[in-house]
Amino acid sequence: MVEAAYADGKSPEPPEKPRITLRIERGEAPSTGISLDIRVTGSRLRLSGAGMRAEADATTMQGHCVLPVGDAVPSALMLEAIDAVLLFLLTRSGRTPLHAAGILLGDMALVLSGPSGSGKSTLTLAAARRGLQLLSDDMVFVQTEPDLRLWGLPRPLHVFPEDAPPGPHPKRLRAGKWKVAIPAPRVAMVRSTRKGRLILLRPGSELALDPVDPEQAVSNLKLEPGFDLLADESRAAVATLAAGGVWRLSLSSDPAAAIDLLCRHFNPLRAAG
């Protein structure tokens, strides 16, 4: 399960000295429910629930996950626990998380930033249907040293049930809202890119794309709970990304039209194709 879930993250050659060490083992307790409790105190993370427990220490870059015995816990929930530990350590080793989606036009990522419910996942699904490559539908990681690099984590797309394609899809509670998980086309998911543009999402009735002053975008940055744990790093990441340009995308009820507008503006050759 773990091998398959992180296959895209393998390095072609093992590093001489790993920066992050994660130990995963089976425990002796069976599953005891489906909820996870995650607590962060300073440089440490602790997780418990569903017969699992885990901890991570950002000072040593080490993590430890104990998974329950048996098959009662869904594999997606176990991966969620492992993801929590890995991402906690990654975000404290130079990759700052932004609550944003990432779609690619050529080798340039459009980082679609907005709060929960602003349309990030719906736009990502529309981009996948358009044949575009994806970084993520909900969280993009920004590395600023030694230069800009944007990272994603290949995972299912989570959209509102009314926006999902026909068929049965597992439901997940995300940021207090029920969404369904849609498998992303594997060929569409990429690990990273070195170019990016920041797009601020705003719900509206008429589709429009307008430039925004980069300094204004940074000064007006609002961090949601969880992301505010790395406030200084987030502002530095947004400032680095905003240096390449910032736009505000006012959305209509047609996500496909929004993707077409982005293609015409940022990649006319792709739009013509």
> Would you state the pLDDT for residue 30?
56
User: What does the buried/exposed string (b/e) look like for 233-251 if buried means 16 or more CB atoms within 10 Å of the residue's CB?
Assistant: bbebbbbbbbeeebbbbbb
Radius of gyration (Cα) for the chain, nearest Å? 19
Q: Which residues touch 6 (CB under 8 Å, ≥6 apart)?
A: none
Which structural domains are found in the chain, ordered by start? 2-90 (no CATH), 96-272 (3.40.50)
> Would you state the pLDDT for residue 103?
94
Residue 165 DSSP symbol? P
71-129 tens-digit pLDDT? 656 677 788 888 899 999 989 988 999 999 999 998 899 999 988 888 898 899 899 88
| Gap between the Cα atoms of 112 and 121, Å rounded | 10
126-136 tens-digit pLDDT? 998 898 999 98
Q: Does residue 69 have a pLDDT over 80? A: no
Q: How confident is the model at residue 186 (pLDDT cuts 50, 70, 90)?
A: low
209-268 tens-digit pLDDT? 999 999 988 888 888 888 888 899 999 999 999 999 999 999 998 999 999 999 999 976
* Model confidence, pTM: 0.81
Other C-beta atoms closer than 10 Å to the C-beta of 23 total 10
